[in-house]
Structure 1
Amino acid sequence: MVRKAVWVGASVVLLTLVVAVAVPTLAQLPTEEDVYAQEDGNATTQPACQYQELYQDASPAVAQVLSDGGQGSGFVYERDDGTSYVVTNEHVVAGVGPGGPVDGAERDPAAVDVRFADGAVRSGNVTGTDVYTDLAVVRVNDTPDGVETLPVANDSPPVGQRVAALGSPFGLEGTMTHGIVSGVNRSMPTGAGFSIPDTVQTDASINPGNSGGPLIDCDGDVVGVNRAGGGDNVGFAVSPALVERVVPELIANGSYEHPYLGVGTVPVTPAVAEANGLNESQGVLVVGTAADGPADGVLVGSNDTVTVDGQQVPVGGDVVVAVDGRAVTSQESLGSYLARETAPGDEVDLTVLRDGNRTTVNVTLGERPAPGEGPAGA
């Protein structure tokens, strides 16, 4: 997105005024825990975040996950009759599981070690993994006393909300960092040819080893599963909505089936809009469909390119502007809707611009294939 700053020059007349003011004492000055936002002309406040109490309450449920391939973090999501299910990242346990015991093996090939806050180490079994959300579940028997679950929020937190990241960055157990929610509905590239939709951005420090640990709000609710730091003051976490959709399936079935539209898209930038004769930069342009995929023969992909301001721009494909009546403003909005609201076998209504006309087409979603076996888009 290009932001244009408009500078307006003005003549300023400085007047010297003698004004009697009451100077507040240091104790009367507002702190960062006081006035938080201004809404409808009235000051609103956000309760102070008691980080010490928050850490004391939440840290017993946060663990270090140790596998043959490295280490990360996790948290207790569910407990049932002495069995706990610890959520972490798929890449923390990649190559370890899921799986069951093998006769004659000294160590279960799906086993990892889970170290809790009190130092107790338990053997865990990877029971489910999902590469597309980078989530995994480890089953742990005989959890130490005093370990409770961390509740997961119903939805992504608002921008500006205070949060804390717990985990073991660089192997440093029991670490807490804090910050705010910097953005929501982010699309996070994975380096594996696809992006994770609907992620939460934060300026709380997230470093190697934090992966799989919880991002929590001041009430102790999980508002994200930490995954990656993208640079100074930029970190990302899998959204609570995706956690609540995927993790129960990983516990019950060991895997999760993602919906699949089978299209590759690009955002409708001003250059794309100009090249395609569009009135506004909105929606996504279909550049291709997967052969024999759900959208094959239903959506039309781009068939040519033109040069606009020195760059090659696709032309001629359908422009998706809405899905099931909801506006598609970007690739992120389309991906988030499919991930959060649909499942394989569902039929979606896509509003598209085709040859200058607005029309609606129906697509029955399929099951997303393994990475690398289809378009990198939705």
Structure 2
Amino acid sequence: MPLDALSEEPDPYSAQVEQAFDRVGPAVVHVTGFGLGGRSAGQGSGVMFTPDGYVLTNSHVVGRAVRLQASLTDGRGLEAALIGDDPATDIAVLRLSGAGLPHAELGASATLKVGQLVVAIGNPLGFTCTVTAGIVSALGRTLRTRAGGLLDSVIQTDAALNPGNSGGPLVSGPGRVVGINTAMIAPAQGICFAIGIDTAVWVATRLMRDGRVRRSRLGLAAQTVPIATRVRRFHALEQASGVMISELAANGPGRQAGLQPGDVLVSFDGIAVTGVDDLHRSLTEERAGIAVPLRLLRRTELLTLPVTPREG
């Protein structure tokens, strides 16, 4: 049989990467920021997530710019307006001035599993719409942002990222956005991070509504952890996970309330806290200055402590 009669059928791994890229690639944009005098103020990637041109990207990509432009994969260059940015989570939302724009489907980062295939799409080092693939290496990481804060519940992946990938989508095999790429650890190999799409959507919704995120804070860094079955049974807890405190600010509300590193939070004001995103959703602006009961596990003991969040 002649060689040109043979068809190269993609293996299942390659087929998933191709599917993810085909579905999300057209919605990926190259974001360029300009400062005073037209000087470059940064560049990165973004992903359109609505039919009317809203774009998710990183706050650090757009934070210093006075004018923004987005380049599409079809060659179009469109002006972009900054709707709002949130340095605390390194998320920003832009809106493009155009019609007939493609958009990506959003997934859920809460359902991700370690070892799952993920694909990163972006514009590393100016190379437009590049795709790299890897797996979810870990979940629930804590990462210090460029603004100096701590970003909780971050996805760690070994899908290669380079400067310019920031703000681009992390995509599941079925072709849904599950994270927004935000950082790599240099000079380490295969240690890259993305903000979970559940957090990104929560932030984006508020930026689109108010132009900023209003929140209260407890002054702690935390990560989602499983609760041992025997502990759950002993205390009749229905939830399988909680939020473990990894760090407390020196004069923060959490430390003043008597919280300790290693405590696992299970409810906030009577509402179950099964993950970091649950805690973020509970810490609304209205909670600031009001004492609420915080239920937690300290080793095997179940405690309730009053805590007063601060505006921040």
- The separation in 2 between residues aligned to 1:255 and 1:287, in whole angstroms, is 23
2:197 aligns with 240
Cα distance change of structure 1 residues 254 and 217 upon mapping to structure 2, 3 Å threshold: same
1:72 and 1:129 map into 2 onto residues whose CA distance is: 15
> 1: CA distance between counterparts of 2:76 and 2:266?
50
Identify the match of residue 141 of structure 2 among 186, 189, 198: 186
Residue in structure 1 matched with residue 167 of structure 2 by the alignment = 212
Query: Kindly tell me: are residues 95 and 358 of structure 1, through their superposed partners in 2, closer, same or farther at Cα, counting changes over 3 Å?
Result: same
Q: CA deviation at 1:360?
A: 2.0
Instruction: State the AA in 2 paired with 1:187.
Output: T
In 2: Cα distance, 1:202 partner to 1:227 partner: 11
Give the 3-state SS of the residue equivalent to 2:20 in structure 1: helix
SS at match of 1:227: strand
What is aligned with 1:54? 20
Aligned CA RMSD, in angstroms, stands at: 3.0
- CA deviations 1:79-113 (Å, max 9, x no partner) are 33xxx1111100100122xxxxxxxxxxxx3x301
CA distance in 1, matches of 2:167, 2:154: 14
Contact 2:248 2:254 in 1 (8 A): no
Write the distance in 2 (CA, Å) between the matches of 1:358 and 1:202: 34
Asked if the contact 2:60/2:146 (under 8 Å) is kept, the reply is: no
* CA distance 1:320–1:252, change in 2 (3 Å): same
The answer to whether 1:79 aligns with 2:47 is no
Q: Which has the larger radius of gyration?
A: 1
Q: Is the 8 A contact 2:265 2:296 kept in 1?
A: yes
Q: 1:116 to 1:321 in 2, by over 3 A?
A: same
- Distance in 1, Cα, partners of 2:220 & 2:309: 11
* Aligned pairs for 1:132-211 within 5 A: 132-143=88-99, 145=100, 147-156=101-110, 157-211=112-166
- Letter of the 1:247 counterpart: A
Counterpart CA distance in 2 for 1:163 and 1:284 is: 27
Aligned to 2:202, what secondary structure does the other structure show?
A: helix
Aligned to 2:42: 70
- Mapped to 1, the partners of 2:275 and 2:174 lie a distance apart of 31
**TM-score, structure 2 as length reference:** 0.74
Q: How does 1:286-325 map to 2 (within 5 A)?
A: 288-290=250-252, 294-295=253-254, 298-299=257-258, 318=260, 321-325=263-267
In the alignment, is the contact (CA less than 8 A) between 2:88 and 2:147 conserved in 1?
Answer: no
Choose between structure 1 and 2: higher helix proportion: 2
User: Percent sequence identity over matched residues?
Assistant: 30
What residue in structure 1 maps to residue 57 of structure 2?
Answer: 88
Secondary structure of the 1:112 match is strand
Q: Aligned pairs, how many?
A: 264
Q: For 2:247 and 2:22, locate their aligned partners in 1 and report how far apart those are by CA, in whole Å.
A: 49
Query: Any stretches of 5+ residues in structure 1 without a counterpart?
Result: 1-30, 34-46, 97-108, 266-281, 301-317, 327-332, 369-378
Instruction: Report the 3-state secondary structure (helix = DSSP H, G, I; strand = E; otherwise coil) of the residue aligned with 2:263.
Output: strand
Q: CA deviation at 1:284?
A: 5.3
- Give secondary structure in 2 for the equivalent of 1:288: coil
Higher relative contact order (CA 8 A, sep 6+): 2
CA distance in 1, matches of 2:56, 2:197: 12
Q: Matched residues in 2 for 1:283 and 1:89: separation?
A: 26
Q: Which runs of 5+ in 2 are unaligned?
A: 1-9, 35-40, 223-243, 269-273
Tell me the residue number matched to 1:42: none
Contact 1:226 / 1:238 at 8 angstroms: preserved in 2? yes
For the residue of structure 2 that corresponds to 1:196, the secondary structure is strand
* Matched AA of 2:265: V
CA distance in 1, matches of 2:255, 2:193: 33
Amino acid at match of 1:55: F
Aligned mates of 1:222, 1:159 — CA distance in 2:
16
Looking at structure 2, the residues matched to 298 and 166 of structure 1 have their Cα atoms a distance apart, in angstroms, of: 43
Q: Counterpart in 2 of 1:120?
A: 76
